[in-house]
Amino acid sequence: MTAIATDVRRPTEDRAIGVAPRQLPSWDYLEIGFCYARAVNDQYGLRLFANALIRKSQERQT
């Protein structure tokens, strides 16, 4: 399973097109995406998956 940046949209993208935000993928999926982005030195992917992991951790706390 590989994670690609199109699988995780930013919250602003959802608001821009007027749809409800999608639920974030599982922790494993986000961590794999982050590691893959790091391996290929994809700066956009690193930011995207890091922010998604932060949002996922905030979901747990609420």
User: pLDDT tens-digit profile of 14-61?
Assistant: 667 777 767 888 999 999 999 999 999 999 889 989 999 998 988 777
pTM of the model: 0.65
Q: Which residues, at least 6 apart from 46, have a Cβ–Cβ distance to it below 8 Å?
A: 34, 37, 38
Kindly tell me the sign of the dihedral angle through the C-alpha atoms of 55, 17, 1, 32.
Answer: negative
User: pLDDT tens-digit profile of 2-22?
Assistant: 555 556 666 676 667 777 767
**What CA–CA distance (Å, rounded) separates 62 from 41?**
33
| Every domain of the chain and the residues it spans | 25-62
